[in-house]
Structure 1
């Protein structure tokens, strides 16, 4: 498989050794996969160097059995079942993740949404986040979800466009819990049974 050929649209790949050098290079450039903790890139570099296989395995945790998650204020919360996929066009482009609670569409207050994504700055403006979200939405019903919720800041117009292009409807404006800074956020919902066949 030739992973070095660039394509016009990205695909989603499962985190693996063959893609890890591109992911690590993005971290080393200061890109963070966590929009809420911009300093998370340092933690992930350390984890990769300590045990790359354990790091990769931890990105796909459908049982939520991994260690607690650190919130922006430094506190920890239980890890939810979920996984991360990497956005790939022949090079590493970003990450998109899905998380859920078994047997429920609801999320605990400390989890802002079912899906989070981040595209590296040098690949932004190409529609990659829109395409990655479209691809991930096709997999969400397999986890028992009827809809997904995605949140974004009121000033993040690019993210709002990504969500809207994938059928997202604004549900509410709300204030995050203190662990997430008590900030204003917008909550969008995408009904999975109304997605076009692809």
Structure 2
């Protein structure tokens, strides 16, 4: 291994992906109270905090319940795709704090996605932990889970001016395939990347 690769390996943050749990729920709720939204396409904080307040255990179960109806940014309601939601924790910090959230969604038997789904993987980091390599490391782990469910490639979308997210995707092997506008999500262009998993 070259010296630069050894240095990069030493400097890469250590992260873990955890299924949503009551153990991390307080940190998750506190991050939302501080202004973070675990959803990039719409602000879900009020809805999620109300659900947590009502029944924390039911909220955890609801996060990964297949077949649920979900509401999109434009108010449309659609069936939830098969998915895996993971909370990103920093293994290199005391107490392994929550640093973000990442999700994988797919259609059984198909590599394609419905028009309302912007990509197979979406992620968001708590503001205090952005730009430190946690998203890059978390995405690498989620790509392993995409392989587990049988995907040969994934699409990932980011806003055209989100340079940090673009770097995260490219560091994980993403190739830019198009710039596009989906009117369901506004007038701003998005960038679509593909990562091969073979």
TM-score, structure 1 length as denominator?
0.88
Which of 88, 95, 101 is equivalent to 1:95? 101
Number of residue pairs matched? 182
Task: Supply the distance in 1 between the matched residues of 2:124 and 2:162 (Cα, whole angstroms).
Answer: 12
Structure 1 equivalent of residue 85 of structure 2 = 84
Deviates more, 1:140-149 or 1:93-102: 140-149
Task: Supply the distance in 2 between the matched residues of 1:11 and 1:137 (Cα, whole angstroms).
Answer: 13
Decide which structure has greater helix share: 2
How far does the alpha carbon of each residue in 1:54-110 deviate from its partner, in whole angstroms, 9 at most, with x for none? 21112224xx311x2222122222211102100112111010000000110100000
Structure 1 equivalent of residue 135 of structure 2 = 129
How far does the alpha carbon of each residue in 1:154-174 deviate from its partner, in whole angstroms, 9 at most, with x for none? 100000000000000001111
Runs of 5+ in structure 2 lacking a partner? 1-12, 91-95
| 1:92-171 equivalence runs, <5 A | 92-171=98-177
Runs of 4+ in structure 1 deviating by more than 6 angstroms, as ranges, are: none
TM-score, structure 2 length as denominator?
0.88
Task: Supply the distance in 2 between the matched residues of 1:83 and 1:119 (Cα, whole angstroms).
Answer: 17
RMSD: 1.4
Name the SS of the counterpart of 2:113 in structure 1.
Answer: coil
Task: Supply the distance in 2 between the matched residues of 1:56 and 1:32 (Cα, whole angstroms).
Answer: 16
Task: Supply the distance in 2 between the matched residues of 1:48 and 1:179 (Cα, whole angstroms).
Answer: 28
Name the SS of the counterpart of 1:138 in structure 2.
Answer: helix
CA apart distance, 1:182: 4.1
Contact 1:23 1:92 in 2 (8 A): yes
